[in-house]
Structures are given as C-alpha cells and as structure tokens.
A = this chain, B = another copy of it.
Amino acid sequence: MSMKLKQGSDLKELLIDSQKRVNTTLNQAIERVASDEILSRSMRYACVDAGKRIRPALTYGSALSVGGSISNADVPAAAVELIHCYSLTHDDLPSMDDDDLRRGKPSVHKAFGEATAILVGDALQSLAFELLSSPTNPIKPVTQLKMLEILASAAGCRGMAAGQAIDFNAKGKTLTAVQLEQMHELKTGALIKAAVRLGALSHPSVKQAELDALEVYATKIGLAFQVRDDILDEISETTVLGKPQGSDLARGKPTYLSQTGLEAAVKKTDSLATEAISALDNFSSAADPLRELAEYVVRRDH
C-alpha cells in the first residue's frame, strides 16, 4: 500500500494517494465480506476505481492537519466513501434522479439492473458501518463509536436522507436562498463535515480547538462544493462532467444558478473557499493539503 502521503505533501499527491488507499481498503473489505459473485462485482463497480475521492482526501487531509497518521485514517476514509457511493447508486435510480451516466460510465442500475442497484446501495451502506465497527480497526473503541455515531447521523435523517427528502419535495418549486442552503447542508454538507471530523478523530490526541476549527472549514467547503456542482451542471459538457449536462435544471430541481445567476454563484464559491482557509489560520503547514483542497473544490471542472 502506498505510504507516500506526508505532512505538507501537495494536493495532487494527496488526491492520487487517497484514491489508491481507498481502492485498496475497499477492495480488501469487499473481498473479505462479499462471497456472492454478482453482488461483489456490482459493489466494486459502484465504489472501486471511481470518482475523485474528494471526501477521502478530506479525511486524510484532516488527519494530517492535526498531526495524525495516514494509516489510522484508512478505515474512516473508506467508510465515508462507501456512504457517498451508496447515495450515488440510489440517487441515480429511475424513480429518483434517473441518471444513466455516473462518473463517465453507465450508472449501477444501467449496468446491473434496478434490483441489484438497490441491493448494492443497501450493502454499501451496511459495509460502511461494518468496517467502522470492526475489531481490526486500529482506532480505540470509544473513538470508533463516536465515528459511527457521526457517520450514521450524517447519512440519516439528520443529514443526507433529510436533504434528499427536501430535494424530492422541492422539485418544480422555488426555494428561498436559505432553504436551498439548508438542503445543500444536509444533502452534501453533512457527509463532507463527517469526512473531516472522522479524519481528525483518527488522531488519538486531537484537540477540541482543532476539531472546532475543522468544523468551520468543513461547513464552508461543504456548501462551496454543492454550489460548484450546480455551476458545473450548468456550464460543463457531458463528456467532462460524466453525467448529462444541465440535467438538474432540466428536471426543475432548484439550484443556486436558477436563483442567483452564474456570476453571483462563482463569487459565492470564492468567498466560501476563502472563509474555509481562514478557519485554518492557527494550523501549521500540515494543513496545506486541506487549504489546497478548498481551492480545488471551487476550481474543479468535473
């Protein structure tokens, strides 16, 4: 397993190493638990070698920023990514967002059928909690338990699931800027915050002041992330984005763009990135990957 990540490593290295390490952890986990061949293959399809791994990079970056080790962050990073991949798999289903493309390839239900896609999402969610609660996890039990509570809460009715419910009910309606922000905070922000918190907690001697600062950082980039997604949904080509361009707007889903216009949305992401970086003022250069990630989130083109 790659051990290249170190304090002060640059962003590109962080993203590449995050991808490698998460793929290794996920491959090993699926190998260990999934004996059914079709289930195992479809789960790998949904979560291995796919995506930018921004959430795991945040978990690793957060662990580094407080002086933690990379290997302690492997399980939390993989667990967060599993929750993310389960939500993508279910969001793409015909009765949900009905997206045929994901990360540049057919979405799970296009590749394996709808029933398997539902099952894969369910199994990825279970696996996240199985990994985090495993006795082989190097983190001490009380901290594991705290991580489990954070992740379950971010995935469920106080996070992603609640955001998704608001999203359903908002189709074709106009939300206020405050409502839209709240929806994004639940749908995307909660898991991004969990990614950052789990990374920091993987270091046994993390301080409360560090956790508080990282919470502010995570809140800012969580929102920036979703606004950037809305911008990309408006301006990108399908080939770059990996899903049909303009698909959210076409479905009548409320986005920042439909409310504020492109220019204001870009300004919003810039100021959010600046605020995220400011939250790390008291951190050493060990937080540089997180600082660069904040810039990356608002500059990325897919």
A-side residues, CB < 8 A to B, are 30, 33-36, 38-40, 43, 86-87, 90, 93, 95-96, 113-116, 118-119, 121-123, 125-127, 129-130, 132-135, 141-142, 144-146, 148-149, 151-153, 155-158, 161-162, 164-166, 168-169
- 9 closest cross-chain pairs (CB), A and B: A126-B156, A95-B114, A130-B152, A133-B148, A34-B157, A123-B161, A39-B165, A129-B152, A133-B149
A127–B156 touching, CB < 8 Å: yes
A156–B33 touching, CB < 8 Å: yes
Q: Shortest Cβ distance from A165 into chain B, in angstroms?
A: 4
In the complex, A185→B93 CA distance in Å? 29
Q: Shortest Cβ distance from A275 into chain B, in angstroms?
A: 26
B161–A119 touching, CB < 8 Å: yes
B123–A156 touching, CB < 8 Å: yes
A161–B116 touching, CB < 8 Å: no
* Besides A93-B115, A95-B118, A129-B151, 8 new A-B residue pairs in contact (Cβ under 8 A), listed by A number: A39-B157, A118-B118, A122-B155, A123-B157, A123-B161, A126-B153, A130-B152, A133-B149
Number of copies: 2
Q: 12 A-B contacts, Cβ less than 8 Å apart?
A: A35-B157, A95-B118, A119-B165, A119-B168, A122-B122, A123-B156, A123-B157, A127-B152, A134-B149, A135-B149, A141-B141, A148-B148
In the complex, A62→B179 CA distance in Å? 46
B157–A127 touching, CB < 8 Å: yes
In the complex, A116→B96 CA distance in Å? 9
In the complex, A93→B113 CA distance in Å? 13
Other-chain contact of A152, B113, B133, B142, B146 (Cβ < 8 Å): B133
> Which residues of chain B are near A96, meaning CB under 8 Å?
115, 118
> Which residues of chain B are near A142, meaning CB under 8 Å?
141
| Closest partner residue, chain B, to A95 (CB atom) | B114
A126–B161 touching, CB < 8 Å: yes
In the complex, A148→B135 CA distance in Å? 11
In the complex, A42→B162 CA distance in Å? 12
In the complex, A113→B95 CA distance in Å? 9
| Closest partner residue, chain B, to A151 (CB atom) | B129
In the complex, A145→B135 CA distance in Å? 8
